[in-house]
Protein backbone atom coordinates (compact mmCIF):
# COMPACT_ATOMS: atom_id res chain seq x y z
CA UNK A 1 0.00 0.00 0.00
CA UNK A 2 1.43 3.31 -1.07
CA UNK A 3 1.41 6.07 1.47
CA UNK A 4 1.08 9.62 0.19
CA UNK A 5 2.24 12.69 1.96
CA UNK A 6 0.36 15.93 1.72
CA UNK A 7 1.85 19.28 2.46
CA UNK A 8 0.11 22.49 3.13
CA UNK A 9 1.06 25.48 1.02
CA UNK A 10 2.85 26.98 4.03
CA UNK A 11 4.89 23.79 4.57
CA UNK A 12 5.80 23.63 0.89
CA UNK A 13 7.01 27.26 0.87
CA UNK A 14 9.00 26.57 4.03
CA UNK A 15 10.73 23.62 2.32
CA UNK A 16 11.50 25.67 -0.81
CA UNK A 17 12.99 28.49 1.25
CA UNK A 18 15.05 26.00 3.21
CA UNK A 19 16.36 24.60 -0.08
CA UNK A 20 17.32 28.07 -1.24
CA UNK A 21 19.24 28.61 1.97
CA UNK A 22 21.01 25.28 1.55
CA UNK A 23 21.96 26.19 -2.03
CA UNK A 24 23.31 29.54 -0.82
CA UNK A 25 25.30 27.89 1.97
CA UNK A 26 26.68 25.30 -0.46
CA UNK A 27 27.87 28.01 -2.86
CA UNK A 28 29.32 30.26 -0.13
CA UNK A 29 32.91 28.99 -0.36
CA UNK A 30 32.93 29.72 -4.10
CA UNK A 31 31.45 33.15 -3.54
CA UNK A 32 33.99 33.96 -0.84
CA UNK A 33 36.97 32.82 -2.91
CA UNK A 34 35.84 34.88 -5.89
CA UNK A 35 35.56 37.92 -3.63
CA UNK A 36 39.09 37.47 -2.30
CA UNK A 37 40.64 37.29 -5.79
CA UNK A 38 40.90 40.93 -6.70
CA UNK A 39 41.94 41.76 -10.21
CA UNK A 40 45.29 43.52 -10.22
CA UNK A 41 45.46 46.92 -11.93
CA UNK A 42 48.84 48.54 -12.58
CA UNK A 43 47.86 51.61 -14.54
CA UNK A 44 48.68 54.46 -12.17
CA UNK A 45 51.33 56.49 -13.96
CA UNK A 46 50.75 59.67 -11.97
CA UNK A 47 54.29 59.65 -10.52
CA UNK A 48 56.08 59.24 -13.85
CA UNK A 49 57.93 61.87 -15.82
CA UNK A 50 56.56 62.82 -19.22
CA UNK A 51 59.41 60.97 -20.93
CA UNK A 52 58.80 57.79 -18.93
CA UNK A 53 55.11 57.97 -19.68
CA UNK A 54 55.83 58.50 -23.39
CA UNK A 55 58.11 55.45 -23.47
CA UNK A 56 55.41 53.41 -21.76
CA UNK A 57 52.97 54.54 -24.41
CA UNK A 58 55.45 54.07 -27.29
CA UNK A 59 56.08 50.47 -26.24
CA UNK A 60 52.31 50.03 -26.02
CA UNK A 61 52.28 48.69 -22.46
CA UNK A 62 48.99 46.98 -21.71
CA UNK A 63 47.73 45.83 -18.31
CA UNK A 64 46.48 42.58 -19.89
CA UNK A 65 48.55 40.70 -22.44
CA UNK A 66 46.75 39.97 -25.70
CA UNK A 67 48.80 36.76 -25.79
CA UNK A 68 47.62 35.43 -22.43
CA UNK A 69 50.12 33.76 -20.13
CA UNK A 70 52.28 32.64 -23.06
CA UNK A 71 53.69 36.15 -23.46
CA UNK A 72 53.21 38.27 -20.39
CA UNK A 73 55.38 40.45 -18.20
CA UNK A 74 55.62 37.61 -15.66
CA UNK A 75 57.71 35.58 -18.10
CA UNK A 76 59.59 38.47 -19.69
CA UNK A 77 63.29 38.85 -18.99
CA UNK A 78 62.85 42.52 -18.06
CA UNK A 79 60.20 41.90 -15.38
CA UNK A 80 61.08 42.31 -11.70
CA UNK A 81 58.48 40.82 -9.37
CA UNK A 82 57.62 42.30 -6.00
CA UNK A 83 55.16 40.71 -3.60
CA UNK A 84 52.53 38.25 -4.75
CA UNK A 85 49.35 39.98 -5.99
CA UNK A 86 51.12 43.32 -6.34
CA UNK A 87 52.36 45.25 -9.34
CA UNK A 88 55.95 44.53 -10.25
CA UNK A 89 58.58 46.58 -12.04
CA UNK A 90 60.36 46.49 -15.38
CA UNK A 91 63.91 47.44 -16.28
CA UNK A 92 62.69 49.05 -19.53
CA UNK A 93 59.25 50.45 -18.77
CA UNK A 94 58.88 52.61 -15.67
CA UNK A 95 55.84 52.59 -13.45
CA UNK A 96 53.75 49.77 -12.03
CA UNK A 97 53.84 46.63 -14.15
CA UNK A 98 51.18 43.96 -14.07
CA UNK A 99 52.59 40.42 -14.23
CA UNK A 100 49.72 39.73 -16.65
CA UNK A 101 50.70 42.75 -18.77
CA UNK A 102 52.61 43.05 -22.01
CA UNK A 103 54.49 45.51 -24.22
CA UNK A 104 56.20 45.41 -27.60
CA UNK A 105 59.62 44.81 -26.01
CA UNK A 106 58.60 41.49 -24.51
CA UNK A 107 61.45 38.99 -24.55
CA UNK A 108 61.35 35.50 -23.08
CA UNK A 109 62.96 35.01 -19.70
CA UNK A 110 66.05 32.88 -19.98
CA UNK A 111 65.96 29.91 -17.68
DSSP secondary structure string for all residues of 63-107: SS-TTGGGSSGGGBTTEE--STTS-BEESSS-S-B-TT-B-TT--
**Stretch 21-50: interaction string toward ligand SF4, x if CB under 6 A:** ------------------------------
Neighbour count for residue 61 (Cβ, 10 Å) = 24
11 vs 75, beta carbon nearer ligand SF4: 75
Does the protein bind ligand SF4 through residue 96 (CB under 6 A)? no
Chain positions contacting ligand SF4, by CB under 6 A: 61, 73, 76, 78-79, 90, 92-93, 97, 101-103, 105-106
Amino acid sequence: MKKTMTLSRRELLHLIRGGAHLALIASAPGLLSSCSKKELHCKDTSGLSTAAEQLRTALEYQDRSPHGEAKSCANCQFYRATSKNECGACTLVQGPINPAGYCNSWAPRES
